[in-house]
Amino acid sequence: MENSNPASLSRRSFLHLAYAALGSLAFLESGLILFQYLQPRLGEGEFGSKIKAGLVNDFPPNSVTHISNGRFFLVRLAEGGFLAVYQRCTHLGCTVSWEMAQNKFICPCHSSHFDQQGDVENPPAARALDLFAIEIINQEIWVDTAKPLSRQSFAPSQITYP
């Protein structure tokens, strides 16, 4: 079929174009579905959801408490503010422990040290320990463990006050 007017689209090429467009759309959709399908699945009250750490008064100032079902340390700084420090070392993912005597977090795997706020004191870790967002509702401390918040180093804006 000859088409004398170059500006108009022949029926055939229109259909081709439509097929191609629909095909790409379907492809894209499948990709998105797969991507969504593979997203992390979360359970209520488990690590990955919002977790209640306790009441504000359970934690004296200048204390570090391990909340094991949330995989974080609840740090109450001397001036009363809270930080939820994820226990996963920022170097290669090992679990750090709080060493009361030395007043620091120490990673057993490759000896990274972090201070009470999570800042690096000793490499190989290159950035501070991740945080989780804290919300304080009626004196209850809720920690959202869905997504760790990564940071280079400690800043006062990261502290949550009751």
Which residues in this chain contact ligand FES in the complex, by CB under 6 A?
A: 89, 91-94, 107, 109-110, 112, 124-125
Q: Which of residues 7-26 bind other proteins (CB under 8 A)?
A: none
Structure tokens at 73: 């340390």
Q: Least CB distance from residue 140 to ligand FES, whole Å?
A: 32
- Asked if the peptide bond before residue 148 counts as cis, ω within 30 degrees of 0, the response is no
Q: Least CB distance from residue 126 to ligand FES, whole Å?
A: 10
Instruction: Give yes or no for residue 93 binding other proteins (CB under 8 A).
Output: yes
Q: Least CB distance from residue 64 to other proteins, whole Å?
A: 15
Q: Least CB distance from residue 132 to other proteins, whole Å?
A: 10
- Supply the DSSP symbol for 47: B
Query: How is 105-160 classified by DSSP, letter by letter?
Result: EE-TTT--EE-TT--EEESS--SPPPEEEEEEETTEEEEEEEEEEP-SS--GGG-B
Query: Burial, 82: exposed, middle or buried (Cβ in 10 Å; 0-12, 13-18, 19+)?
Result: buried
Q: Least CB distance from residue 88 to ligand FES, whole Å?
A: 8
Task: Please give the torsion angle defined by the CA atoms of residues 87, 98, 83 and 57, in that order, rounded to the nearest 10 degrees.
Answer: 120
Of the candidate residues 10, 13, 111, 139, the single one contacting other proteins (CB under 8 A)? 111
125 touches, from other proteins, ligand FES, none (C-beta below 5 to 8 Å by class): ligand FES
Of the candidate residues 1, 7, 38, 137, the single one contacting other proteins (CB under 8 A)? 38
Judge whether 107 and 96 are in contact, CB under 8 Å: yes
Residues that bind other proteins (CB under 8 A): 35, 38-42, 47-48, 68, 71, 87-88, 91-95, 107-111, 123-124, 126, 147-148
